[in-house]
C-alpha cells in the first residue's frame, strides 16, 4: 500500500512529533522523577499530552521556520 504524496504535509509532522515527543518525554520524566516505580506510567501520561502539542507546533511553525532559515542562508 502506497500513501499518496499529497499527504506528506501531514505525515511529516505526525511522525516527527511522535519521535520527538517520545524521546523528550522519556528523558524529561527520567530527569524529573528518576527510574523509580511507575516511571513508564508517568512517561506515557506525559507523552499523551506532549505528542498532540508537538504535532500542532510543527504544523503551525515548520513553514515559517523554513522561510526564516531561507532568509538567513540566502
Stretches in the chain below the pLDDT threshold 70: none
pLDDT value for 10? 85
What are the cell numbers at 10?
501531514
pLDDT value for 58? 92
pLDDT value for 9? 83
pLDDT value for 57? 93
Report in angstroms the alpha-carbon separations of 5 from 8, 11, 24, 37, 38: 5, 9, 29, 44, 41
Amino acid at each position: 500500500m502506497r500513501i499518496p504524496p499529497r499527504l506528506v504535509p501531514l505525515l511529516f509532522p505526525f511522525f516527527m512529533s511522535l519521535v520527538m515527543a517520545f524521546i523528550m518525554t522519556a528523558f524529561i520524566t527520567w530527569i524529573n522523577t528518576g527510574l523509580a516505580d511507575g516511571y513508564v506510567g508517568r512517561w506515557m501520561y506525559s507523552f499523551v499530552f506532549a505528542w498532540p502539542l508537538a504535532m500542532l507546533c510543527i504544523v503551525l511553525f515548520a513553514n515559517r521556520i523554513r522561510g526564516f532559515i531561507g532568509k538567513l542562508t540566502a
